[in-house]
């Protein structure tokens, strides 16, 4: 039993990360991808400290909830749908009437004061800043999970955030109207033998479907990177289902509020509300992690080996990538993407991207965006002069050498021996063009 467990553990931690496209598989590819995605997700939950990030978003949400609802109700009031929005918010908070009444009291005060012209200038700026700060914190958190370092530019950020704020009340109104419509159809279909149960099923499915769409939209729209719909949809369905199940438990747990009331009084609703937000954000962020994992499975192949790759193998991968890029450039064909280089050379994508970044730092490659905004790579040096010796010399010179070690006098023999070894090696490589090392796989 112990040996069997060790084999399973070795497969989950080592062997399955060595399986690449084209290898013979002992398990179904779908199961392999699921295991990889779950492994990356669990690792990310701990490495990214998602519970702490969820706590930060909970605090930001608590600060922004009143201004945010004030903006939502200001838009919804123009359509005369105040009551419908209250019903939707009440349902979202698990019929927690004390919290709803408490929050809505602040919201109505906010709107009344605005209507009377009391909140002007600084007040409106603070209101918008609180809401925009929440959206920005959400984006920063999502980007950190996706390892995206580049933020939206200020103009696009303002437009996107404003569009999101305008879209939220419309989503609430649509979900409320759809729920009412389906409930009406269900009532009318009860007299039919087949349609009755089917209509009831759709009534129960509606909140799940709306939650799935909401999470899927967040996972696609918020990160400042290209997210594939199928990955976001799978994570959205799983996270949305988990959220709805938590909602059911939260609503069922309201019967225990009376016990807390004996201790905390009316204040008991607040810790439960904070607990609801904390768990909701945690579920949401786990969904983000799952979306990232399912879209980046190949980045973790040979992860341990990539972190400890030898110097000569790193040189080999750099020469391989440069020869492929130069060969395709000479043929006048569309330049490679990192994924194409990885697949054609059977190089782990993480090592491929690492080598590309180093070659760009040495000004041997440069990036060009394709028509569909994907990064492709072209030579930065005349390929008729790009020799193996040139590449190895640039790799040897990459980095700093201005330290206090005396290579001129005290340690001059060691330095000279090293330089001589390099020069002897370069003599044999100075006439070999990089572009001639690769003959391509295309017909």
pLDDT surpasses 70 at 438: yes
Per DSSP, 152 falls in state: P
pLDDT average, residue stretch 429-438: 85
Per DSSP, 150 falls in state: P
What residue spans define the domains of the chain? 2-46, 48-298, 303-437
pLDDT at 118: 47
- pLDDT, one tens digit per residue, over 368-387 is 888 777 889 999 999 998 99
| Top-confidence residue, 166 or 38 | 38
User: 38, 33, 45: which is closest to 238 by C-alpha?
Assistant: 38
- pLDDT, one tens digit per residue, over 155-210 is 777 777 767 766 665 665 565 556 556 556 555 555 555 555 665 666 677 778 88
pLDDT average, residue stretch 126-133: 74
pLDDT band of 43, cuts 50, 70, 90: confident
Least confident of 181-195, 206-220, 392-406: 181-195
Write the CA distances from 366 to 252, 317, 346, 351, integer angstroms: 58, 17, 22, 17
pTM: 0.71
pLDDT band of 89, cuts 50, 70, 90: low
pLDDT surpasses 90 at 285: yes
Element (H, E) at 369: strand 365-369
pLDDT average, residue stretch 83-98: 60
pLDDT surpasses 80 at 42: yes
| Top-confidence residue, 269 or 9 | 9
Write the CA distances from 228 to 223, 281, 377, integer angstroms: 11, 22, 22
User: 368, 342, 336: which is closest to 355 by C-alpha?
Assistant: 342
pLDDT average, residue stretch 393-420: 86
- The percentage of the chain sitting over the pLDDT mark of 90, rounded to a whole number, equals 18
The CATH number of 303-437 is 1.10.10.10
The whole-chain average pLDDT of the chain stands at: 78
Sheet holding 336-337, edge to edge: 336-337, 375-379, 365-369
User: 274, 210, 282: which is closest to 241 by C-alpha?
Assistant: 210
């Amino acid at each position: 039993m112990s040996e069997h467990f060790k084999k399973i553990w070795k497969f989950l931690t080592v062997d399955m990360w060595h399986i690449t496209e084209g290898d013979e598989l002992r398990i179904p590819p779908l199961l392999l991808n699921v295991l990889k995605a779950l492994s990356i997700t669990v690792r990310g939950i701990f490495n990214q400290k998602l519970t702490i990030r969820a706590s930060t978003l909970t605090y930001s949400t608590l600060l922004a909830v009143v201004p945010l609802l004030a903006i939502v109700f200001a838009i919804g009031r123009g359509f005369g749908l105040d009551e419908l929005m209250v019903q939707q918010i009440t349902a979202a908070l698990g019929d927690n009437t004390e919290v709803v009444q408490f929050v809505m009291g602040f919201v109505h005060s906010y709107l009344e004061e605005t209507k009377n012209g009391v909140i002007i200038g600084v007040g409106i700026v603070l209101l918008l800043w609180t809401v925009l700060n929440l959206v920005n914190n959400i984006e920063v958190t999502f980007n950190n999970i996706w390892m995206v370092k580049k933020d939206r530019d200020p103009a696009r950020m303002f437009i996107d955030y404003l569009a999101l704020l305008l879209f939220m009340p419309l989503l609430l109104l649509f979900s409320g109207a759809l729920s009412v419509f389906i409930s009406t159809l269900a009532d009318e279909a009860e007299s039919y033998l087949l349609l009755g149960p089917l209509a009831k099923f759709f009534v129960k499915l509606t909140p799940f479907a709306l939650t799935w769409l909401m999470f899927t939209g967040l996972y696609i729209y918020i990160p400042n990177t290209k997210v594939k719909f199928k990955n976001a949809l799978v994570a959205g369905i799983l996270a949305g289902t988990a959220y709805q199940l938590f909602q059911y438990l939260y609503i069922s747990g309201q019967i225990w509020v009376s016990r807390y009331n004996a201790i905390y009084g009316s204040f008991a609703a607040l810790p439960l509300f904070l607990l609801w937000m904390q768990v909701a954000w945690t579920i949401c962020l786990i969904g983000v992690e799952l979306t990232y994992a399912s879209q980046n499975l190949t980045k973790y192949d040979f992860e341990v080996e990539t972190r400890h790759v030898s110097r000569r193998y790193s040189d080999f991968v750099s020469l391989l990538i440069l020869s492929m890029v130069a060969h395709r450039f000479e043929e006048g064909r569309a330049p490679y993407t990192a994924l194409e280089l990885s697949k054609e050379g059977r190089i782990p994508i993480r090592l491929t991207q690492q080598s590309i970044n180093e070659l760009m730092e040495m000004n041997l490659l440069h990036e060009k965006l394709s028509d569909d905004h994907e990064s492709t790579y072209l030579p930065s040096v005349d390929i008729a002069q790009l020799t193996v010796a040139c590449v190895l010399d640039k790799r040897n010179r990459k980095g700093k050498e201005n330290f206090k070690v005396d290579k001129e006098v005290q340690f001059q023999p060691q330095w000279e021996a090293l330089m001589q070894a390099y020069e002897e090696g370069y003599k044999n490589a100075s006439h070999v063009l990089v572009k001639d090392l690769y003959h391509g796989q295309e017909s």
